[in-house]
Amino acid sequence: MDVSEILNPLNEAQRSAVTVDGQHALILAGAGSGKTRVLVHRISWLIEVEKVSPYAVLAVTFTNKASAEMRGRIESLLGIPVGSMWVGTFHSLAHRLLRAHWQDADLPQGFQILDSQDQQRVIKRLIKAMDLDDSQWPAKQAQGFINSRKDEGLRSAHIEDRGDPYLRQMIKIYQGYEEICQRGGLIDFAELLLRALELWRNKPDVLNHYRSRFSHILVDEFQDTNSIQYAWVQLLAGDQNKLFVVGDDDQSIYGWRGAKIENIQRFSKDFSGTQTFRLEQNYRSTGNILKAANALIANNTSRLGKELWTDGNNGEPIQLYRAFNDFEEARYVVEQISIYTELDMRRDDHAILYRSNAQSRLFEEALLARGISYRVYGGLRFYERAEIKDALAYLRLMSNRHDDPSFERVVNLPTRGIGERSLQAIRDHSRDYRVSLWDAACTLCQQQLLASRAMSALSGFISLIEKLAGDCDGLDLGDTVELVIEHVGLIEHFKKDKGERGQARIENLDELGTAARQFQYDESIDMSQLDAFLSHASLESGESGDSQSDDCVQLMTLHSAKGLEFPAVFLCGVEEGLFPHKMSIEEPGRLEEERRLCYVGITRARQRLYITHAETRRIHGAETFPAPSRFINEIPEELIKEIRPKQRAPQVSTLRHLRPQTARRRSAPLDDAPLGLRLGQQVSHPKFGEGTVMSYEGQGKQARVQVNFNAAGSKWLVAAYANLQAV
DNA sequence: ATCGTCATAATTTTT
DNA sequence: TTATGACGAT
């Protein structure tokens, strides 16, 4: 392979980053500046030109998607599979380490991963077992407490209560949780990272092994690293190995879950001899969009500094639309999309971005009414679905009887007569003797400590698991999974569900069998095929979209839009209190993160950017009158074209003439709208011609309607006399 | 055990 | 407004 193949597709800044020769490099890669490309080409450069062994390269990302993409692109650029290279997420690499060194990490060989759902259930149960009032001690809060401490590298023993009774109780919960996990061989996500870090800290020989192996460490999205991840990278780097980290401080939007923007800010101080590169040429957006983004983000303090530019043209102005209410905002956005899709654009060229998930509803309704297909991102993913977790719980129990959350989950599913009383007896015994639920159940059965009915049910369950485990011995993974699903009674159980639900669940269970058959087992890791599959299920929760029918308008939160791009972006609900969110408005640090989120949103757009806000919005059922977001004011006026600047003198948009005719919307009627007229409805008047209902006031005979006529402008009319016809 | 009713809370989410 | 969870009734 030719060096020019690696270097030719790069611009100058990218090229100097890729070919850097010092010990450490920090690449500040703006949105759309070819960040992944630089990483991929850097790795190719190391291997092809510097003749570094792939074995000595470690590349870390945050999401499975990113690591899959990186691996794929490296392989296609180099033309060879890079099996020996460690490319993965922090979590998957930590997992791999712990599997290889489970003894040194003080773990049972068959340890399993606890996802956040499972974790919450464990904590909830623990709080009950501790006889605490769960309204005063919500599991969610305790979970947050535990995870944020772990993210800082703190175990329960490290935290001082300083006489604070709240802290003291939380520490106790944390302690109890640690015990349960250790006993059951369960590792939550934060624990994966913490254990991996402690493994290296406690076992210098293990650390040295990896230190001498990985001479080149590359980290993607460095602005998202938390304290543990930073410490982990630092430890592995030692003072010999070379770090190449890529990130964008302006796109740090996960501070609330432990990411430390300081990590990227202090990198060059912590690692002396760091060369910093800025990738500022943007290949994605028009000039106006970039100017808006630059101007907005300039309001943040303590940035590393970066300004995006393009050699393309300015493009259209940013369109700002002020809607009367949230409802009409959705109507407008969907109308615009329908105009563009009737011209030449695809539905999936359009993204509707919002700050909080609840906002999706109105857009969905408006899209539904227009018959435009759409996809909402961010629901449950495959391995998170209840029926899948049920089946996995059986498999997990087969692999490890002491997996309490799995035991709880399926001991009476499908119902087999193990009720709350028996279960409570099992839990009590488990707590009193500090044994797993499984062991407690076995003891209770042997000692005949339960009512005979419950006893036989329980021993039925125990022997079911034992029998399945025996039957599956020697079977391959696909057969195992299918055999378990078949014999455990879940299918029959879900058949009883009414409607489509049950059928869908059974199909998902089938799909699980397929997933197991297709699962690629990496034999180099020291674990059974089943354990590997179970870990995979926890670590990669799979695709979120149910049926990603191809051409759909894309709806998602700003957070989930990070890393994506769209020809047309609608940034909606850009209002004080919603965006920036009221929970973040007070603290300067959090406000800046909101601003970065806005920056992320703006820079998703390639060609066309709409920003919309509403003057009235229902939040939790109550009317609110939010001011336009300060972020709007931070964008230079000359980049913005207001679609309808003033309520009093509405302008007839040029687009209005392109409106496809009379596709009937089915917007829910406003409770007291006069004559059944709806905001946004097209009407015609004998004298003024056609127009749009903009507002109304009063009721019955007094009701007055404001109509914005295409030709005659805006008028207030008494509805009873105006003789308006719906178009 | 399953359904209905009431209270409660309500950013953002990957691993 | 709505979704979720807990609790009580059939």
Percentage of chain A lying above the pLDDT 70 cut = 90
CB of A566 within 7 Å of some strand B atom: no
Element (H, E) at A159: none
Of all nucleotides, the one whose C1′ comes closest to residue A620's CA is C1
pLDDT computed for residue A725 by the predictor: 73
Cβ atoms within 10 Å of A386's Cβ, excluding its own:
14
pLDDT computed for residue A90 by the predictor: 97
Q: Of the ranges A11-25, A278-292, A398-412, A712-726, which one carries the lowest mean pLDDT score?
A: A712-726
Predicted confidence band at A247 (pLDDT cuts at 50, 70, 90)? very high
The residue to which tokens 């934060």 are assigned: A190
Do the beta carbons of residue A191 and residue A226 sit within 8 Å? no
- How far apart are the C-alpha atoms of A167 and A11, rounded to whole Å? 53
- How far apart are the C-alpha atoms of A236 and A610, rounded to whole Å? 45
Of all nucleotides, the one whose C1′ comes closest to residue A671's CA is C1
Q: How far is the CA of A412 from the C1' of B6 (A)?
A: 27
CB of A502 within 7 Å of some strand B atom: no
Cβ atoms within 10 Å of A568's Cβ, excluding its own:
21
A631 closest CA partner among A238, A248, A355: A355
CB of A581 within 7 Å of some strand B atom: yes
What average pLDDT does range A90-99 have in this prediction?
A: 97
pLDDT computed for residue A379 by the predictor: 85
Q: Whose CA is nearest the C1' atom of nucleotide B12?
A: A559
What average pLDDT does range A161-169 have in this prediction?
A: 92
pLDDT computed for residue A651 by the predictor: 38
pLDDT computed for residue A661 by the predictor: 27
CB of A62 within 7 Å of some strand B atom: yes
What average pLDDT does range A249-261 have in this prediction?
A: 96
Cβ atoms within 10 Å of A587's Cβ, excluding its own:
10
What average pLDDT does range A524-550 have in this prediction?
A: 82
Predicted confidence band at A690 (pLDDT cuts at 50, 70, 90)? confident
Predicted confidence band at A714 (pLDDT cuts at 50, 70, 90)? low
What average pLDDT does range A249-275 have in this prediction?
A: 95
CB of A658 within 7 Å of some strand B atom: no
The residue to which tokens 């159940």 are assigned: A441
Tokens encoding A67: 């690591």
Q: Which of residues 107-136 of A touch strand B (CB under 7 A)?
A: 115-116, 135
- Is A35 catalytic? The answer is yes
Of all nucleotides, the one whose C1′ comes closest to residue A128's CA is C6
A36 closest CA partner among A9, A54, A4: A9
Q: State yes or no: pLDDT of A650 exceeds 60.
A: no
**pLDDT, greater one: A307 or A725:** A307
CA angle A108, A109, A115 (to 5 degrees): 75
CB of A361 within 7 Å of some strand C atom: yes
Task: State the pairing for strand pair A374-376/A553-557.
Answer: parallel
pLDDT computed for residue A80 by the predictor: 85
Q: Which stretches does DSSP call E strand in A79-233?
A: 86-89, 112-114, 186-188, 216-219
As ranges, strand B nucleotides with an atom below 7 A of a protein CB are 1-2, 9-15
The residue to which tokens 């129990």 are assigned: A397
Q: How far is the CA of A410 from the C1' of C6 (A)?
A: 21
Q: Of the ranges A182-191, A264-273, A362-371, A514-523, which one carries the lowest mean pLDDT score?
A: A514-523
- Is A36 catalytic? The answer is yes
Counting beta carbons within 10 angstroms of the beta carbon of residue A407, is it exposed (0 to 12), middle (13 to 18) or buried (19 or more)?
buried
Q: Whose CA is nearest the C1' atom of nucleotide B10?
A: A620
CB of A618 within 7 Å of some strand C atom: yes
CB of A303 within 7 Å of some strand B atom: no
pLDDT computed for residue A365 by the predictor: 95
Tokens encoding A328: 């009409």
A562 closest CA partner among A315, A252, A268: A252
Q: Active site residue: A35, A42, A375, A678, which one?
A: A35
Percentage of chain A lying above the pLDDT 90 cut = 76
Identity of the residue numbered A92: S
- Summarize pLDDT for A446-497 with one digit per residue, the tens: 998 888 888 889 999 999 999 999 999 999 999 999 999 999 999 988 888 7
- Summarize pLDDT for A102-117 with one digit per residue, the tens: 999 999 999 999 999 9
CB of A559 within 7 Å of some strand B atom: yes
What average pLDDT does range A660-669 have in this prediction?
A: 30
- How far apart are the C-alpha atoms of A272 and A256, rounded to whole Å? 29
Q: Active site residue: A61, A225, A229, A251, which one?
A: A251
pLDDT computed for residue A216 by the predictor: 98
Q: Whose CA is nearest the C1' atom of nucleotide B14?
A: A63
pLDDT computed for residue A671 by the predictor: 34
Q: State yes or no: pLDDT of A282 exceeds 90.
A: yes
Q: How far is the CA of A624 from the C1' of B8 (A)?
A: 21
- How far apart are the C-alpha atoms of A127 and A263, rounded to whole Å? 35
Query: What pTM value is reported for the model?
Result: 0.87
What average pLDDT does range A235-258 have in this prediction?
A: 96
A390 closest CA partner among A488, A504, A465: A488
Q: How far is the CA of A357 from the C1' of B10 (A)?
A: 11
pLDDT computed for residue A700 by the predictor: 45
* Strand, coil or helix: A660: coil
pLDDT computed for residue A510 by the predictor: 94
Q: Whose CA is nearest the C1' atom of nucleotide C1?
A: A621
Q: State yes or no: pLDDT of A123 exceeds 50.
A: yes
Element (H, E) at A670: none
CB of A655 within 7 Å of some strand B atom: no
**pLDDT, greater one: A129 or A655:** A129
What average pLDDT does range A89-110 have in this prediction?
A: 96
Q: State yes or no: pLDDT of A653 exceeds 70.
A: no
Angle between helices A360-370 and A326-343 (to 10 degrees): 50
Q: State yes or no: pLDDT of A188 exceeds 50.
A: yes
Backbone phi and psi for residue A308, each to the nearest 5 degrees, phi listed first: -80, 145
Q: How far is the CA of A552 from the C1' of C4 (A)?
A: 29
pLDDT computed for residue A665 by the predictor: 28
pLDDT computed for residue A667 by the predictor: 33
Q: State yes or no: pLDDT of A649 exceeds 70.
A: no
Q: How far is the CA of A625 from the C1' of B9 (A)?
A: 22
Do the beta carbons of residue A339 and residue A660 sit within 8 Å? yes
Q: State yes or no: pLDDT of A119 exceeds 80.
A: yes
As ranges, strand C nucleotides with an atom below 7 A of a protein CB are 1-3, 6
Q: How far is the CA of A668 from the C1' of C8 (A)?
A: 36
Q: How far is the CA of A140 from the C1' of B7 (A)?
A: 18
CB of A596 within 7 Å of some strand B atom: no
pLDDT computed for residue A666 by the predictor: 28
CB of A424 within 7 Å of some strand B atom: no
- How far apart are the C-alpha atoms of A100 and A462, rounded to whole Å? 31
Backbone phi and psi for residue A278, each to the nearest 5 degrees, phi listed first: -115, 125
Q: Of the ranges A260-274, A472-486, A492-506, A682-696, which one carries the lowest mean pLDDT score?
A: A682-696
- Summarize pLDDT for A435-459 with one digit per residue, the tens: 999 999 999 999 988 888 888 899 9
Q: What is the mean pLDDT of chain A?
A: 89
- Is A128 catalytic? The answer is no
pLDDT computed for residue A668 by the predictor: 32
Q: How far is the CA of A603 from the C1' of C3 (A)?
A: 33
A685 closest CA partner among A641, A657, A727, A627: A727
Sheet with A86-89: list strands edge to edge: A86-89, A57-61, A216-219, A242-247, A24-29, A274-279
Q: State yes or no: pLDDT of A211 exceeds 90.
A: yes
CB of A63 within 7 Å of some strand B atom: yes
Q: Which of residues 70-89 of A touch strand B (CB under 7 A)?
A: 89
CB of A623 within 7 Å of some strand C atom: no
pLDDT computed for residue A699 by the predictor: 47
Element (H, E) at A631: helix A630-633
Predicted confidence band at A543 (pLDDT cuts at 50, 70, 90)? confident
**pLDDT, greater one: A400 or A695:** A400
3-state helix, strand, coil in chain A (%, to 5): 50, 15, 35
Task: State the pairing for strand pair A605-619/A318-325.
Answer: parallel
pLDDT computed for residue A658 by the predictor: 34
Q: Active site residue: A99, A291, A306, A604, which one?
A: A604
- How far apart are the C-alpha atoms of A413 and A488, rounded to whole Å? 9
Q: How far is the CA of A580 from the C1' of B8 (A)?
A: 25
Q: Which of residues 138-197 of A touch strand C (CB under 7 A)?
A: none
- Summarize pLDDT for A579-618 with one digit per residue, the tens: 999 999 999 999 999 999 999 999 999 999 999 999 999 9
- How far apart are the C-alpha atoms of A459 and A443, rounded to whole Å? 10
Q: Active site residue: A151, A220, A365, A403, which one?
A: A220
CB of A133 within 7 Å of some strand C atom: no
Task: State the pairing for strand pair A605-619/A566-571.
Answer: parallel
